[in-house]
Structure 1
Amino acid sequence: MATKSFSRQSSVSDQLITFKDVLNPRSDFDQLERLILSNLDEKEKICLKDFKKYIVKGEGVWVLDQQILDFVAGLLEHRSLNLDIRVKLLRLLAAAALRDDFWSFLQMDRKNRTLMRFPNLFENLTVEEQKGVALFLVNTFSTPQGADWLMYGSTWKLDEETETSNVKITAKVAGYSLVSYTPSLQEYGSALIYNIALKETKALSVPKNKYTEEDLPTVDLDYGTVSNQDIMETRESTQFVTLKVYNDVAVELSMATLKYIKKTKNPPEEVLYRCMKSLVKFSYIIPNDILHCVAMVQVDLDTLIPGNSARIDAEMKMLKAKLIKSTE
C-alpha cells in the first residue's frame, strides 16, 4: 500500500490525505526529458526548462505561465505520443500539486480546462495513466484553493452538446478508481472519496420541523461553509441541506463505496476505514439516498463490516444509528 501523508486539517480531528512518498520528481523529470527533448523546438525547450525550475529546483510559481500550460496541454492531448510521456507528466503534476502556490497555475486553465478534460477520459485511459490522474487529483487536495478547484460545481462545456464540472470529473475519477481491480488505484480512489467527504461543505442549516414545502419560505436561513465537524455534531432537530450537485456526487460515491465493500474480499483496513468514514459523513447529508444505495447494491454491511478493526466498528455503529434514525 502506498504511504499516505496528511496535509491539512479539514476539521479538528481529521486531515485530508495526500501521497508524497510515492513520487520522485527529479527522476520522473529526467525520464520525461529523455523521452521528448530531441523532438522539441526552441520555444518548447524553454518551457521544459522553466517547468523544471518549478518542479525540481523549487522556484516560485511565477516561472509557470500560459506557454507552459499550453506545452503541458499539448503533451496530454496528443495521443500519438509515447504513453510514458503522459505518465511521467501526470506524476510531475501530482508532485507540483503538493506546492502551496500551485493553485495559481490551475487558475490559468479556466478557459481551455485541459487539466480536467484529460481526467474526464479516465475510463478510456491505460492503468498507468489512471494512476497518474488519480494521484494528481488527490494531491491537489493539499491546499484549500486546490480543493476548491476540484470541487468547483459550475458547469462548463466539454463540447457543443455536453456539459460537465470539475466536481463531477473529480467524483468520476474517485469512483472508477475505487471499484477498479488495481490496488494502488483503490488506494488513491478511497483517499479521493475520503477527501471529498471530509471537505468543508456549503450548506443550509434548516430546523427539521420547518423542512416542508409550506414552512421553508418563512424561515430565515443562513447559507455558508459548514465544517465536517459541525455537520457530524449537529443536533437531531437540524437538517443540513446542500446543493444538488454535491448530493449527486455523494450518491455516486456512496454507490462506488458500497460496490467496493461488496466485491472486495479482505480489503485493506485503511481503505475500508476511509470508505466507512465517508459513508458516515454522507449519511448526515443524504441518509435516505444511502439506504436506497444499500438496497440497490444488495450489500450486507452487518456481515461484511464488523470485526475488521475497532475504528471501523465505531464508524459502522455511527452509520447504522444514523440510517435507523432517518427511517423513524
Structure 2
Amino acid sequence: MDSGKSFSRQTSFGSDQVILYHEALNPRSDFGQLEKLLTNLDDKEKESLKDLKKYLLQKEGAWLLDLQMLDFVSGLLEHRSLNPDIRVKMLRLLAAGAARQDFSSFLQMDRKNRSLMKFANLFDELSVEEQKGVALFLCNAFSSGKGSEWVMYGSTWKLNDDTETSNVRIASKVAGYSMVSYTPSLQEYGSALIYNIALKETKALLVPKNKYTEEDLPSVQLDYSTVTNEDIMNSTDTSATQFVTLKVYNDVAAELSMAILKYIKKTKNPPEEILYRCVRSLVKFSHVIPTDLLSCIAMVQVDLDELVKGQSGRIDTEMSTLRSKLVSAKE
C-alpha cells in the first residue's frame, strides 16, 4: 500500500524518525472540493476560507491563522447536520496544515475550547473517511516540537459531560482504535501515531530502588523532568534504579501496548513496516512499564516469538531487546 508517508528528524531515538504524511494529502484538490460543498457562507466565513487557501496553497505565513478561522473550522466540524464530506475535506486540510512547523500556533489557540481534540474524541462514532482525516492530522502534528507537545499534553480538562480527559489520552484513543481497525490505511496511520508517541521524549525520573519501593512511589513528591529516549533505553543498571514516568504516560503506554498486541494476534502477514513500528514501540514501553507490559501480553494471550520472529532482521533485533527486557522484569 502506497501510504504517502515521509520522514522527519524532529524527534528521534537512535536512527528512528517521526513519521509524517505529505504525499497522502492533496490540499489543492481537497480545497477545491470543499469550496464546492460550502455554498452558504457569510462574509466572515468567506474571509476565513480565503485565508486558509492562502496559507495552504500559496504558502503564506501562520499570521493568517487567527481565532476567527479557528471558530470557522470548529463550526464545520461540530455541526453534524452538514454534509459529512465537508468534515472529511476539512480534516484533510488540517492534516496538510499540521505538516507545517508553524501550524503549532493554530493548535495553541484551541487551548480554551479544545474543539479539535473534542472532535477527535468522537473517533469511534465517525465514518472511516473522517477517522482517516483525524489520524493523519494527529500524525502530522508531530512535525514540530510544539505540535507534538500539544498532542502529548497530559493535564486533564473536562468534556461537555464533565468527564475528564487530556490531549494525550484522546490521541491514544485514536491510535488504538486505528491500530485494531480492519481498514489497512487506518492500521498504517495508527501504527505511525503509536510510533510517534513512543518516540516522544518522556517526563521521567531515575529513582534509586533502595530509596523507594513500588508502594512508596504514588505518595512521594517527585520532580519529573524530560528524559531522553536514549537515556531510558540505554539504561543498564535496572537492579539498582528504575525510570518512573507520569501516570498518564504509563496509562497511555499500556493502552497502546494492548492495541499493538491485539493487532499482532489477529493480523495474518502484517506489513513489515507496520510490524517493525509495533515492536519498536513495545521496546520503548518495556523500559517504562515492564510489569504492565507482561500483564498485557498475558491478557491478550499472544506469543510474540511465534508470531513475530523471522519477519525481518531489524524486527528480530528489536525482539531480542524486548525479550531481554521482559525476562528481566520477571526476575
TM bucket by the smaller chain? over 0.9
Aligned-pair identity in percent equals 72
2:209 corresponding residue in structure 1: 208
Rounded Cα–Cα distance in structure 2 between residues aligned with 1:321 and 1:185: 31
Aligned length: 326
Return closer, same or farther for 1:115/1:220 CA change in 2, 3 Å cut-off: closer
Q: Is the Cα–Cα contact under 8 Å of residues 141 and 147 in structure 1 kept in the other structure?
A: yes
Residues 91-106 of structure 1 correspond to what in structure 2 (within 5 A)?
91-106=92-107
1:31 aligns with 2:33: yes
Q: Counterpart of 1:159 in structure 2: which amino acid?
A: N
* Alignment-derived partner of residue 17 in structure 2: 15
1:81 equivalenced with 2:82 (yes/no): yes
For 1:279 and 1:69, how far apart are their aligned partners in 2? 36
Q: Which residue of structure 2 aligns with residue 289 of structure 1?
A: 292
**CA offsets, 1:14-44, max 9 Å, x none?**
21111111111111111111110x2111221
User: Could you tell me which residue of structure 2 aligns to residue 310 of structure 1?
Assistant: 313
Q: For the Cα contact (< 8 Å) 1:206–1:221, is it kept in 2?
A: no
**Hey, what's the Cα distance between the residues in 2 that align with 1:17 and 1:211?**
37
SS at match of 2:101: coil
* Structure 1, gaps ≥5 residues long: none
Question: Contact 1:95 / 1:139 at 8 angstroms: preserved in 2?
Answer: yes
Q: Which amino acid aligns with 2:57?
A: V
Pairwise CA distance, 1:197:
0.7
Q: Deviations over 1:245-301 (max 9, x none)?
A: 000000000000000000000000000000000001000000010110001001111
- Specify which of 303, 315, 318 is matched with residue 300 of structure 1: 303
Code of the aligned partner of 1:57? Q
> In the alignment, which residue of structure 2 is the partner of 1:258?
261
Partner of 2:274: helix, strand, or coil? helix
Q: How does 1:215-294 map to 2 (within 5 A)?
A: 223-236=224-237, 237-294=240-297
AA partner of residue 27 (structure 1): S
Letter of the 1:93 partner, please give it: L
Q: Deviations over 1:65-89 (max 9, x none)?
A: 1110000001000111111111110
What's the RMSD between the two structures over aligned residues? 1.7
> Would you say the 8 A contact 2:180–2:263 is kept in 1?
yes
Deviation of residue 222 (structure 1)? 5.7
Using the size of structure 1 for normalisation, the TM-score is: 0.96
Pair 123,220 (structure 1): closer, same or farther in 2 beyond 3 Å: closer
Q: Give the direction of change, closer, same or farther, for the CA distance of 1:87–1:240 in structure 2 (3 Å limit).
A: same
Identify the residue that residue 70 of structure 1 maps to in structure 2: 71
Cα displacement (A) at 1:213: 6.3
* 3-state SS in 2 of match to 1:112: coil
Structure 2: which 5+ runs fail to align?
none
